Amino acid sequence: MKTHISPDYPQLCQAVAQNVIACVKTKPDALICIAGGDTPLGVFTALVEAQKQGRVDFSRTQFLGLDEWLGLGKADKGSCREMVWHHFFDKLTLREEQICFFDGLTHNPQAECQRVDRYIELHGPIDCIVLGIGMNGHIGFNEPGVSVDNTCHVIDLDAVTQAVSVKYFDTPREVKQGISLGLKTILAAKNIVVMASGEKKAAIVAQTVNHPASRDIPSTLVKTVAQASLYVDKAAASKL
C-alpha cells in the first residue's frame, strides 16, 4: 500500500483534500464518501476553502455517508450526521438530492440498509472514499471479525469503540450498535484513502501496515486492493 507521510495534520489534510479535488476534477458527478469522526475535520475545512476559492466545484458531486451511531440523529452533537453537516455539507450549500446518509434514528434499520444499498447500486461504485481508522482498526463501523462480503449492515459495537465514543458526545450516550457501509462496498471503491493523525494512532497504523491482512484488524484489509493508499502525519507514522 502506497504511504504518504505529511509533516503535520494541516498538511496531511491538504494532501487528502487534493486527492478528493483531483477526483472531482476528473469526474464532476463523482460519488464521494468521507468518514465522520475527528480525523477528516481538517479535510472538510480544506475542501470548503477550495470551493470558496473556485479550485473545485461540488455542484454535481454526490456524497455518501460512511456510518452512523444507531439511535442518534442530527440534533445529537457528535453523531456522524451532525459532524459532517456542521463541518462540511452546510458550508458547501449542497442540494438535498446530492446526499445519501444513514438515518441513525430509523425505526427499521434493515430497510435503511436496503435504501442505502439501492442508492449505491444506482450511483456506485464509490469514486473516492476517505476513511479514518478506529483505535481497534475498524473502518466505518466494520468492527474486528466482520465479514468482507457485507454491504450495508447493522453491527454491534466493539467494547473499544463504545469506550472511545465518549470523546464525541457532550452528554453521556449509550451507543451499542452502528450502521455502516460494508467492506464489500468500501473495497470496491475506485480510490481508497485511509487517513490517520496523531501519536494515539501510531500503534494501529503500524499494525495496519505490518500485520498480514486479517478480519481481526479490518484496516489491514485495505491492503488487499491495489487502489488504496495510506495518508498519515509524522506522529501517526512514528511506529512505522
**Residues that are catalytic:** 67, 136, 138, 143
- 66 contacts ligand GLP (rule: CB under 6 A): yes
Number of residues this chain uses to bind ligand GLP (CB under 6 A) = 13
| Candidate residues 12, 34, 35, 221; the one interacting with ligand GLP per rule CB under 6 A | 35
Give least dist CB 222 to ligand GLP, A.
13
Give least dist CB 39 to ligand GLP, A.
3
Interface stretch with ligand GLP, choices 11-19, 34-42, 110-118, 218-226 (CB under 6 A):
34-42
Q: Write out the binding residues for ligand GLP, residues 136-195 only, by CB under 6 A.
A: 140-141, 161
Give least dist CB 65 to ligand GLP, A.
10
Instruction: Give the Å distances, CA to CA, from 132 to 37, 82, 118, 141.
Output: 8, 17, 24, 10
Closest CA to 123 of 217, 56, 27, 6: 27
- 34 contacts ligand GLP (rule: CB under 6 A): no
Q: Which is nearer to ligand GLP, 27 or 148 (CB)?
A: 148
Per-residue contact string for residues 114-143; x = within reach of ligand GLP by CB under 6 A = -----------------xx-x-----xx--
- 39 contacts ligand GLP (rule: CB under 6 A): yes
Q: Could you list the residues that contact ligand GLP (CB under 6 A)? A: 35-39, 66-67, 131-132, 134, 140-141, 161
